[in-house]
Amino acid sequence: MREYGGPLSRFTVVQAMVLTGLVILGILAFAGAFGEAEQPLDLERLEGRDRITTAIAVSEAGWDSADTVVLATAVDFPDALAASAVAAATDAPLLLTDALALPRPVADEIERLGAETVYLLGGEGVIDPTVPWQLDYLDLGLEVERIAGPDRYATAAAAARRAGAPGGEASIALGTDFPDAVAASALAATPQRAPILLTEPDGLPEPTVGALDDLGIERVEVVGGAASDAVVAELEALGLEVTPRVGADRYATSVSVAEEALVRLEEPTPLVLASGEGFPDALAAGALSARVGGTLVLTPSEGDSEPVEALLREHAERWDVGFVVGGGGAITLNGLERLAAMAADLPAPPVPEDPENGPEDDAGSPLGPDPDAPTEDEDDAEDDAEEDAEEEDPEGGDDTAAEATDGDS
């Protein structure tokens, strides 16, 4: 066999080969590290075909078992607003039920969890007596306790008493709408476990004042629209330390609350995202954030909120895992991708001006155009008819039906 070069040259070739291999390994390691740093945050979507099965999906993701389950109405928000604090205090998943009957999938999930206690949030006008009867019929030995009062404010007060206030602190939000109260659940998920009380815009209801006293509250976070001059003045007159958490809109308010929650939570921190346009997914998300030690942030469906984007980018190094609660009808696929990029401080996809596939349903499937939707001419005709009716009945008619859906027990 023909040899090329002597021992020295052969040694030099071996050195070169080793050096080349080390360089390649270094390049691959650098590329791997760089590629990992440039990845969007992995956001796991937790969804079902509707709000009830979405809450079940959250429960399945967060709990292998649970001694306690919190059951709230899926129909209307008032009596359900304080449910997240009870769930956080009892390390319980939050499930949803129809008003008149317990859905079979919910019963199956309670059985899977091996629960021993079920707390019902709201009076019989919100969750019918049929529901606790059905829970008893499951023959699981469940202890069922209804947490309720004569109205939404008393129900929230009863829930706060059940949850307790180990940190001497409570959150107060308006009882007339849901966004601020569900945003406040981010504080209920912190170690201070601040319960959520409700107020009217122009003053504190008596049940709320009573709960503040009974729980020995010293500090109050007043969230969003509840921070009126009248409410703040009344709280200060009670000798309480008051901190308003207010933003220009529901998303900015949620960010303000989340910023305070992050001060109290350990790092790294799970990120939990839910739509700010509906209450059911956010309720279940609040319970999940307490379970995983994360913070809840409300977002528009396309993730197009400047305060939300600023929060996600500012704390990009802090997020270790992320969850999006709800299907494509709540947070679109493009919205999820935008949020994932923001949470890693990467360039985000643009907000589509004209989505090609039309709106999406609760499970994220494109629906396309509605063949039964009225045409523009039909819309105009309906508007004309409504104007004629208003002229005939300027008082607007009987509002009994509207009152019946208020949600108070």
For 5-43, the pLDDT digits (tens) are 444 344 454 454 444 444 444 444 444 444 445 899 999
> How many angstroms separate the CA atoms of 337 and 330, rounded?
14
Q: What is the pLDDT along the chain (409 residues), one digit of tens a residue?
A: 444 344 434 445 445 444 444 444 444 444 444 444 589 999 999 999 999 999 999 999 999 999 999 999 999 999 999 999 999 999 999 999 999 999 999 999 999 999 999 999 999 999 999 999 999 999 999 999 999 999 999 999 999 999 999 999 999 999 999 999 999 999 999 999 999 999 999 999 999 999 999 999 999 999 999 999 999 999 999 999 999 999 999 999 999 999 999 999 999 999 999 999 999 999 999 999 999 999 999 999 999 999 999 999 999 999 999 999 999 999 999 999 999 999 999 999 999 986 444 444 443 333 333 334 444 444 444 445 444 444 444 333 333 333 333 444 4
- 97 membership: H or E segment, kind and range: strand 94-97
Short-list 123, 221, 235, CA closest to 168 = 221
Report pLDDT for 15. 53
Q: What share of the chain is helix, strand, coil (3-state, %, to 5)?
A: 45, 15, 40
Q: In what order do the strands lie in the sheet with 319-325?
A: 43-46, 319-325, 269-275, 295-299
Q: Where are the domains of the chain?
A: 43-343
Torsion angle in degrees (nearest 10) through CA of 371, 377, 378, 382: 150
Please name the amino acid found at residue 72: A
pTM of the model: 0.79
Short-list 112, 43, 42, 48, CA closest to 284 = 48
Please name the amino acid found at residue 293: G
CB 156 within 8 A of CB 82: yes
Report pLDDT for 63. 98
Tell the burial category of 190 from Cβ atoms under 10 Å away from its Cβ (0-12, 13-18, 19+): buried
- 22 membership: H or E segment, kind and range: helix 7-37
Short-list 357, 312, 361, 315, CA closest to 337 = 312
> How many angstroms separate the CA atoms of 130 and 391, rounded?
44
